[in-house]
Amino acid sequence: MYGWIWRHLPGGRGLKAAQSLVLALTVCALLLFVVFPWVEPQLPWNDVTVDG
């Protein structure tokens, strides 16, 4: 998969490295700000009860 992305990015090695970094940061930001907040309420770990 990474090879496919690398081959399809335009430019030389430096430009491809910069584009790969921007792509990775975009994916991380999308996961952090969109996907994880949407999934978090659906996870069962929020139902914590402590008997005392």
List, for residues 1-52, the tens digit of each pLDDT value. 789 988 999 999 999 999 999 999 999 999 999 999 999 888 877 667 777 6
What the block records as the tokens of 30 is: 């999308």
What is the pLDDT, as a whole number, of residue 49?
74
Confirm whether pTM is higher than 0.85.
no
What is the pLDDT, as a whole number, of residue 26?
97
User: Distance between CA 19 and CA 10 in Å, rounded?
Assistant: 9
Q: Tokens 């491809």 — which residue?
A: 16
What is the pLDDT, as a whole number, of residue 2?
83
Q: List, in order, residues 6 or more apart from 18 with CB less than 8 Å away.
A: none
